[in-house]
Structure 1
Amino acid sequence: MFQSVEISTDLNGLEPLLERLDWLIKQAISTLQTRKKAEEELQISWLQKIEISSEAITIQIRSDSPLAWLQNTFSLSSFDLDILVIALAPELDRQYEKIYAYLQDNMSSKRPTVDLVLNLLCSNIQNKLSRRKHFSNNSPLIYHHLLHLSSELTLLSAHLFLDSQVIRFLLHQPGLDSRLTICCQLLETTLFADTLSIEEDVQKKLQTLVKEDWQKQQPLLLYFQGNDGTGKRHTAQIIAKNLEVSLLVADFKKIVEDKAHFQDNVKLLWREAWFFNHLLYLDNFDILYLQENSILYQIFITELEKHRGITILAGVQNWIPTATGVKGVITVPFTIPESKKRRECWQKHLKTAQISIKDKDLDVLSNRFRLTPNQIADAVATAYNTARWQAISTKFSANEALENNSYLPKEIKLEFVDLCNAARAQSGHDLANLAQKITPKYTWDDIVL
């Protein structure tokens, strides 16, 4: 796994293979020209063409390059690497498109075909036939979806397309795969642990466990359970910041909308996190517990067993153990803190905002409103901004406020009722989730008096 860095002088280890490709192309062009001349002047058949030797270039791949990582991870042969670079070359320089079109005697065929690959890399018909196995469904390149073939009448006519994730990985291109933008977002970890949604000692244990498994590159599955959606994501961002990586956030509500490609999207998602060293956070996991998504749930659990990294699932319901190989799930509850903890949280955020209230009012806020730390922080900020808004409206008209640079008083007068209103708004956010929409089966005509 490699983080996004600048391209090295040897093109991230690709230079030796590209040099070999250029040499093979020169040999092929020379042979092609010789063949055409012979066919025109001497009427020699193409079966008697000059054989191409590929012994001139010795390949030395840098051991710490992305190419070497792919080779070791997916058990790619040197022939597979040649295929990979032939498919990658047009992404580096469009001159290769012209060369490929020339070699294939078809100006519209700018992408390499299986036939072109075999012509470049094989010296005779027997070798070509034996190398067709590299394009079969169970070959490493095809099985692991590193390379895609277009649908054609014959295998030789199929065009090669390197997967966009592999291209970005080899070229160290940052960002998010375009196929995932509809259901994912990549968050840079700039947050600081100023508002903890779980106990501080729990947070430290969690960070220690994740960091240890991350360094050992061993799988770990965490389940953040509770109603505090903001707090769960905030905690995941803190963990990612501690690991010095980005947080890849995916929403299951959006993923399940495309049921036909659910499995492909899940595989794509995990490989995005794996290839580009992101911490993976999957939100709204509960939706897979619905009866209508039971098949998708089984697909996800099956794919989850294969995942090698750290995954954070987030949901409201309790984790339901499976009968499959998914074991060792650690549930981290995100519950409403006790009144004492809520009071401390209110006190902390009020002090930060330079707002002072009476102790009895502080007791009312902490006892009456069962809020999470993030909701308390939001309530204080909302109440403060509401007070600022009222101060502007009281002192100036709308036009005067725009023209006057000192329209706010030095001290904002925040009433206790403002804090109560803001807290009440926070506590009502989840009420809609408790309601269930029903479709009436009876009408007024069905009533018997």
Structure 2
Amino acid sequence: MTTAQRVPAGLDAPDTAVPDLWERLGHIERRVRLATALRRESDPEPDDPFRGQYLTPAAAERVLDSRDAFRPVPDLGPDAPPERGRLAELADRFGLVAPDLDLLLVAMAPDIDARFEQLYGYLNDDLTRRRATIGLALELCGLPAAGPGRFRFSPSAPLVSSGLVEILDAERPLLSRILRVPDRITAHLLGDDEVDARVHGLVRVAEPREEPDTGPVTLRIAAAAGTGGGLVHLLDRGGDPARLATGALLAAGLRPLVVDTAALAAAPEPAGAVRMLATEARLSGGGLVLGPLETLAPEQPKGAALLGALCAAVGGGSPLVLYGKKHWDPLWAGESPVTVVVPPPDPADAVRRWRGALADAGAAAGPDAGAGMADGLLADATRAYRLDSGQIRRAADVASRLAALEGRPVAPEDLRTAVRAQNGAGLARLARRIEPTVGWDDLVLPPATRRQLSDLALRARHRDQVLGRWRMRPGGGRGRGIVALFAGESGTGKTMSAEVVAADLGMELYVVDLSSVVDKYVGETEKNLERIFTEASEVNAVLLFDEADAVFGKRSQVKDAQDRHANVESAYLLQRIESFDGIAVLTTNLRANLDEAFTRRLDVVADFPVPDAEQRLALWERCLGTEIPRAPDLDLATCAERFELTGGSIRACAVTAAYQAAESGSALDTQQLVAAVLAEYRKLGRLVLESEFGPWMERTRRR
């Protein structure tokens, strides 16, 4: 029975794949039969079991009398039948001609039918070499070894450059080198569409959505991917480029292959990984989606080389959609892409994405976990966040599981907790991470200051709509960040207010440690700050620069090199704070020390005055709480009236008095509280006046 008549048992493949392949393999088998018969006619010892291990004089004479590389090859039968089905698709996608397909099938035959191994071993005159060599493949395809057919195995030829055929034994002469076809190519021709096992963990197939995206940006991306070389660059301006890229490829009828950029950058053999990705994209009739580009660091030689190699490997055979926040540099690749700007998503679209993600997550976590939240409540809970589709999907999964643990629908707090879990650890290495535990009720501030804090939270929630979609901050390289200044004496509640704003937005607070930022070496401070700003732009958090006048100070007249470098540092901060895309809060005790140029770049300026007597009484009540026992004679009103302290000092006094009450084993009385105030005065270096402390002064001294 010939190969053309036999189909392997258990092969479950579409009818359009196997019969066409079997017809072409039958043609290869007939050529192998004829080549074997011709070899046996001139072989003096065809059945020698030790052939290939030694060379007799008769065999040497036969080798010398055999056909040389310049003579025409024997006629091994009619030409191959025309390619159809997957063979025709393969030829079209990889630019193959009929001789290329014949050579490919000759090399692939042992992977489909084991009989070819023995036959090739006999034709190679070496039973240990059971695959086709380049010389044997050329002979079976009717191509002279010294003719142009040998150049079909050059590194730039379609068979080799696209990874369809691998050439082994590079140390041997060209005609003796072994040909091997990767398993993925064989599986594809047999009807298997699974992604190559060698790129597992490097690429995934994006699943089609029930509601395809037909927005104008998606259609523009699809049109750009279908023109020229198919190289498209999505310039991210706060949108979701990964989702739009996959939607565009699906709209164009292509299979989206989403590349894990971090895994590609860390691949031990990037050149091989790039070639396999390009082959997989062409083989499956799909397109590659890769980003964000910043992960590859294309501004570095290694990253630029990797990106350029990927663009060259794809080479117009498949669409390649790249996305990132940086503008395209022509030095990154030999071809320039079509750039499409990705704007922030519409609020209604964001709600639909969250709703779909919660529905999918709820199906796995529990029947009621992802339901029960109205669209308005969902929009309010997620409006301040900037997440892509993958982060929304993961956050929805975490929120649904949190709700399922308690057997209830997802609540806004579950969403906030889940979003915070998506923040990477990069910023935590550069700043101190604080998870807010306070709210608006914990603040004791004048009404004007509270309004300014509310305005900051309002801006953070609606910045994508106002600054992005409505373009109220166009041009000049300006970002869509929100920057606020909290000015006031130490202890007036600046840091706590930043924590309250972060809690209201459902975000974490990252406090920058300026001692680890400022460096004595020229230029290192700017590098440290750049790393902080870059990481902060990628997380949903509030960035706090405590004692900001240490780095945001005034520029001065240049008198020496130190002044010049200090001015360079301030100039860098001026332009970087303006292009920042996150939420930043600067605090200072001395507002006059800040450069006036920063004021224009601030969105909110909140002044924190020293609290008055009424506010101090409220602070005493809050700081002492309800758990500590109080003596009947505890006079908080008099303490608030007499002692002008800030909120931070009042908290310190309350803690000191609580320790004294715990040591005495009695309820907290006024004497203990005044003793704590006296200790705080001395710590702050303030004058202790008898007129201020009154009768408690002598009692404290006696104690």
TM-score, structure 2 length as denominator? Answer: 0.47
Between 71-80 and 345-354, the greater mean CA deviation after superposition: 345-354
Counterparts of 2:122 and 2:385, CA distance in 1: 72
Counterparts of 1:79 and 1:353, CA distance in 2: 60
Between 88-97 and 163-172, the greater mean CA deviation after superposition: 163-172
Counterparts of 2:292 and 2:303, CA distance in 1: 14
- Extract unaligned runs of 5+ from structure 1: 195-199, 392-411, 443-449
Which of 279, 287, 294 is the aligned partner of 1:286? 294
Question: 1:34 Cα deviation (Å)?
Answer: 1.6
Whether the 8 Å contact between 2:17 and 2:191 is mirrored in structure 1 is no
2:371 counterpart residue number = 353
Counterparts of 1:378 and 1:175, CA distance in 2: 25
Counterparts of 1:77 and 1:347, CA distance in 2: 50
1:187 counterpart residue number = 206
Alignment of 1:330 with 2:340, yes or no, is yes
1:167 counterpart residue number = 186
Whether the 8 Å contact between 2:245 and 2:289 is mirrored in structure 1 is yes
Counterparts of 1:23 and 1:153, CA distance in 2: 29
Counterparts of 1:413 and 1:11, CA distance in 2: 51
Counterparts of 2:155 and 2:392, CA distance in 1: 55
Superposed, 1:43-442 pairs within 5 Å as 45-46=61-62, 47-48=64-65, 53-54=74-75, 56-62=77-83, 64-71=84-91, 76-121=96-141, 127-130=144-147, 131-150=149-168, 151-189=170-208, 191-193=209-211, 204-212=215-223, 219-223=230-234, 225=236, 232-243=241-252, 245-258=254-267, 261-289=269-297, 293-301=300-308, 303-304=310-311, 306-315=315-324, 317-323=325-331, 325-334=335-344, 353-355=371-373, 365=381, 369-370=384-385, 386-390=402-406, 412=408, 418-420=411-413, 422-423=415-416, 425-427=418-420, 429-430=422-423, 432-437=425-430
- Extract unaligned runs of 5+ from structure 2: 1-11, 49-57, 360-367, 431-515, 521-703
Letter in 1 for 2:423: D
Counterparts of 1:149 and 1:89, CA distance in 2: 15
Q: Assess, with a 3 A threshold, how the Cα gap between structure 1 residues 285 and 20 changes in structure 2: closer, same or farther.
A: same
Counterparts of 2:107 and 2:308, CA distance in 1: 34
Q: Assess, with a 3 A threshold, how the Cα gap between structure 1 residues 172 and 378 changes in structure 2: closer, same or farther.
A: closer
Query: Secondary structure, in 3 states, of the residue corresponding to 1:280?
Result: strand
Counterparts of 1:103 and 1:164, CA distance in 2: 24
Counterparts of 1:33 and 1:15, CA distance in 2: 26
Question: 1:93 Cα deviation (Å)?
Answer: 0.5
Identical-residue share of aligned pairs (%): 18
Query: Secondary structure, in 3 states, of the residue corresponding to 1:36?
Result: coil
Whether the 8 Å contact between 2:264 and 2:273 is mirrored in structure 1 is yes
Whether the 8 Å contact between 1:122 and 1:128 is mirrored in structure 2 is no
Query: Secondary structure, in 3 states, of the residue corresponding to 1:329?
Result: strand
Deviations 1:98-150 (A, max 9, x none): 11112223221111112323444559xxx432244443444443344432221
Query: Secondary structure, in 3 states, of the residue corresponding to 2:321?
Result: strand
Whether the 8 Å contact between 1:370 and 1:427 is mirrored in structure 2 is no
- Structure with the greater alpha carbon radius of gyration: 2
Between 346-355 and 210-219, the greater mean CA deviation after superposition: 346-355
Deviations 1:285-310 (A, max 9, x none): 2122366x433224413642633433
Question: 1:276 Cα deviation (Å)?
Answer: 0.4
Counterparts of 1:185 and 1:413, CA distance in 2: 31
Counterparts of 2:251 and 2:37, CA distance in 1: 56
Letter in 2 for 1:175: E
Query: Secondary structure, in 3 states, of the residue corresponding to 2:117?
Result: helix
Q: Assess, with a 3 A threshold, how the Cα gap between structure 1 residues 77 and 304 changes in structure 2: closer, same or farther.
A: closer
Give the count of matched residue pairs: 391
Whether the 8 Å contact between 1:21 and 1:86 is mirrored in structure 2 is yes
Between 318-327 and 379-388, the greater mean CA deviation after superposition: 379-388
Whether the 8 Å contact between 1:192 and 1:238 is mirrored in structure 2 is no
Question: 1:242 Cα deviation (Å)?
Answer: 3.8
Whether the 8 Å contact between 2:228 and 2:316 is mirrored in structure 1 is no
Query: Secondary structure, in 3 states, of the residue corresponding to 2:106?
Result: helix
Query: Secondary structure, in 3 states, of the residue corresponding to 2:18?
Result: coil
Between 379-388 and 134-143, the greater mean CA deviation after superposition: 379-388
Whether the 8 Å contact between 1:219 and 1:307 is mirrored in structure 2 is yes
Whether the 8 Å contact between 1:18 and 1:85 is mirrored in structure 2 is yes
* CA RMSD across the alignment: 4.5
Whether the 8 Å contact between 1:255 and 1:265 is mirrored in structure 2 is yes
Counterparts of 1:36 and 1:381, CA distance in 2: 70
Whether the 8 Å contact between 1:342 and 1:373 is mirrored in structure 2 is no
Whether the 8 Å contact between 2:235 and 2:339 is mirrored in structure 1 is no
1:409 counterpart residue number = none
Letter in 1 for 2:335: G
Query: Secondary structure, in 3 states, of the residue corresponding to 1:18?
Result: helix
Letter in 2 for 1:390: E
Deviations 1:206-254 (A, max 9, x none): 33334445667861414262677xx554444544554455431111111
Alignment of 1:33 with 2:43, yes or no, is no
Relative CO higher for 1 or 2, CA cutoff 8 Å, sep ≥ 6?
1
Letter in 1 for 2:80: I
Q: Assess, with a 3 A threshold, how the Cα gap between structure 1 residues 378 and 267 changes in structure 2: closer, same or farther.
A: closer
Q: Assess, with a 3 A threshold, how the Cα gap between structure 1 residues 211 and 288 changes in structure 2: closer, same or farther.
A: closer
Question: 1:6 Cα deviation (Å)?
Answer: 3.7
Deviations 1:185-217 (A, max 9, x none): 22332x3349xxxxx8xx511333344456678
Q: Assess, with a 3 A threshold, how the Cα gap between structure 1 residues 289 and 331 changes in structure 2: closer, same or farther.
A: farther
Counterparts of 1:13 and 1:168, CA distance in 2: 14
Letter in 1 for 2:292: N
Counterparts of 1:167 and 1:72, CA distance in 2: 17
Query: Secondary structure, in 3 states, of the residue corresponding to 1:223?
Result: strand
